[in-house]
Amino acid sequence: MLNTFKSFASAGIALFMATLLVITDLYFDDIGIIWFAVLWVLLFSAILIMLVQYIHAEKEIHNCSFQLSANKERLANEIKHRLWAEKSTAEAKIKSQIIDENIPVLLAYFNIDQRCKYHNRIFRKWFGLKADQIDGRLLKEFADDDFSSSIKRHFDAILSGKTIHEERVLKSIKGFPYIFTEQYIPHKDSKGNTIGFYTLHTPCAQDKKRISVKKNDQTDTSVTEISNKKAEQQTNKNPKRAEISAERIIQAIKSGEFYLYCQKIIPLDSASLPPTQYEILIRMAEEENNLMPPGSFLPLVDQLKLMPQLDRWVANHVVKWLATNAKEFKSIFSLNVARDTLCDKTFIEFIQDKIQKSKIPANLLCFEIEETDAQANLIDAMFFTEKIRELGCLITLCGFSQDTQSVDLLKKIKIDFLKIDGIIVCNMIYEHDDLIQVQNIKQIAHQFNIRTIAELVENEETISRLREIGIHYAQGLGIEKPSPLNNLITVKQKGVVTTPLTRNK
């Protein structure tokens, strides 16, 4: 505004001075030459000021024009990038939605009030509900106690920022049990305060013998298919399922960053059978003092061909533990043997050396091998079972499901225990065919003088049925959850001293 006034003022002064000079020249002949000079100087000064202002104005116009062009180009680029970003976001959203809605994982997000703010298709299918029956609702309003009990139990730990890993069996709306790896992942704001948490329920599945629940909707099979063996023996070869890197696995094995857990195996006829046995399980240490379940790292260990090293670590630490506590614990401890370990001839020498140096009774150790691994590596399995039994140790065959190949396998290898496929055990109180199969397996085992173990036992009804059939042992969350091996030391022995099992000849 001021610059505009100055421009008009300079022009007005110049015009006034020019007019004054003309009038003076025409009507005032007697005026002095000095005054004419003064008027001409003033006129020249006004014109000079106008010229300077004009040049300055031209410069400002040029700068404004340049800035306008730059802003126009910047705006065009921003529009172009915004359109590209919107397109990329839309494409990423579609891809993310496709993945999110089709992966066989129950995924949901809850705020700290346990109100559901997001869920995927698989999550609502598990509950048999529509989206509006879950969105914005409290967990207790749509989930049963079976599903929400774990969240309630770990809620304080989640709020403190701890990531939770857990394995357990959940029942679908039709009452069928499925094994899941549960993960509760805290969501923190910029200040580090927990403002919500994600829940991921991943079915424990293998490539072998998947069993799908009978449903009308065929799309449900991606969720309901689970394996016949729990996560301790997962051998899925997809490295993307692993939550850790290969370098982390190698470091953990070298540094021994693992913890031994155990799960009780009880006799169903305590009068005629040796008391409790234990299966050795494993957890891996991770950040913030959390423990990673086997389903999160064993697949990658298996793919890296490091299972023989890990099995040696487990066997070595179990033998050391028994050497210290064998007088109080004469129970049988079962160790899982991976496929690559089964084919490793030096592993037998390793076990022999550990037993001789520790001087523990060999029949306190039982080695579990998968039926499918034994069938795929029959010669190695025959050699392994023969040599291990010569040491005085015991053998368990896991995942037995009663088919022609399974029965033929029992004729070729000597074993002491037969673990019935856990899915058959879970479903036997719901499906008559599974009940008949358990009965047939018991008869087959009796013919070979082999004792039977039912795994994944979840309730008293299943235990009662197993006892009626004549199954010897039972194991599962319905009996006892896995606990740290060292916790056994603090448990006082009650009454009868346990006696190791005598091998079948």
pLDDT of residue 468: 94
pLDDT of residue 46: 72
What span, in angstroms and rounded, lies between the C-alpha atoms of 12 and 7? 9
**Mean pLDDT for all residues in the chain:** 79
Same domain as 337, residue 423: yes
Identify the CA nearest to 441 among candidates 429, 452, 456, 426.
Answer: 452
Of 97, 124, 157, the last residue of a domain is 97
Task: Evaluate whether residue 502 is within a structural domain.
Answer: no
What span, in angstroms and rounded, lies between the C-alpha atoms of 117 and 131? 11
> For 140-182, how does the pLDDT look when each residue is reduced to its tens digit (9 = 90+)?
999 988 888 889 988 999 999 888 888 777 877 766 667 788 8
Any idea what the CATH number is for the domain that residue 373 is in? 3.20.20.450
pLDDT of residue 221: 31
Long-range contacts formed by 144-150: CB under 8 A, 24+ apart:
146/170, 146/171, 150/182
Long-range contacts formed by 32-38: CB under 8 A, 24+ apart:
none
Same domain as 88, residue 111: no
What span, in angstroms and rounded, lies between the C-alpha atoms of 39 and 238? 97
User: Which residues contact residue 468 at a Cβ distance below 8 angstroms, ignoring those fewer than 6 apart?
Assistant: none
What span, in angstroms and rounded, lies between the C-alpha atoms of 78 and 219? 43
Enter the pTM of the model.
0.57
Of 97, 113, 134, the last residue of a domain is 97
Task: Evaluate whether residue 434 is within a structural domain.
Answer: yes
- Residue type for 133, please? Q
Phi, psi (deg, nearest 5) at residue 402: 60, 80
Same domain as 400, residue 253: yes
Task: Evaluate whether residue 220 is within a structural domain.
Answer: no
Of 44, 67, 97, the last residue of a domain is 97
Same domain as 397, residue 299: yes
Q: What would the DSSP string read from start to end of 97-124? A: HHHHHHSS-EEEEEETT-BEEEE-HHHH
What span, in angstroms and rounded, lies between the C-alpha atoms of 408 and 264? 30
What span, in angstroms and rounded, lies between the C-alpha atoms of 179 and 158? 22
Same domain as 28, residue 6: yes
Task: Evaluate whether residue 233 is within a structural domain.
Answer: no
Distance, first Cα to last Cα, the chain: 111
CB 504 within 8 A of CB 394: no
Tell me, letter by letter, the H, E, C secondary structure of 2-60: HHHHHHHHHHHHHHHHHHHHHHHHHHCCCCCHHHHHHHHHHHHHHHHHHHHHHHHHHHH
Same domain as 15, residue 62: yes
pLDDT of residue 488: 85
Identify the CA nearest to 279 among candidates 311, 232, 237, 223.
Answer: 232
pLDDT of residue 209: 36
Identify the CA nearest to 163 among candidates 201, 202, 120, 197.
Answer: 197
Quote the percentage of the chain above a pLDDT of 70: 75
Domain that holds residue 129: 104-205
> For 375-423, how does the pLDDT look when each residue is reduced to its tens digit (9 = 90+)?
999 999 999 999 999 999 999 999 887 777 788 899 999 999 999 988 8
pLDDT of residue 226: 34
Instruction: Characterise 132 by phi-psi region: left (phi > 0), alpha (psi -120 to 50), beta (else).
Output: alpha
pLDDT of residue 498: 44
| Total of domains in the chain | 3
Task: Evaluate whether residue 215 is within a structural domain.
Answer: no
Identify the CA nearest to 165 among candidates 239, 102, 228, 244.
Answer: 244
Same domain as 405, residue 335: yes
Task: Evaluate whether residue 232 is within a structural domain.
Answer: no
Same domain as 351, residue 482: yes
| Structural tokens at position 503 | 């091998």
Task: Evaluate whether residue 221 is within a structural domain.
Answer: no
Same domain as 250, residue 187: no
CA-to-CA separations, 256 to 158, 313, 317, 502, in angstroms, rounded: 27, 7, 10, 33
Same domain as 173, residue 80: no
Task: Evaluate whether residue 296 is within a structural domain.
Answer: yes
Same domain as 118, residue 266: no
pLDDT of residue 350: 96
**C-beta atoms surrounding 386 within 10 Å:** 13
Dihedral sign, Cα of residue 371, residue 373, residue 376, residue 379: negative
Identify the CA nearest to 397 among candidates 428, 364, 425, 373.
Answer: 373
Quote the DSSP letter at residue 459.
S
Pairing of strands 333-336, 365-370: parallel
Same domain as 173, residue 38: no
Low-confidence ranges of the chain (pLDDT < 70): 1-18, 20-40, 42-43, 89-104, 174-177, 204-244, 272, 287-289, 490-505
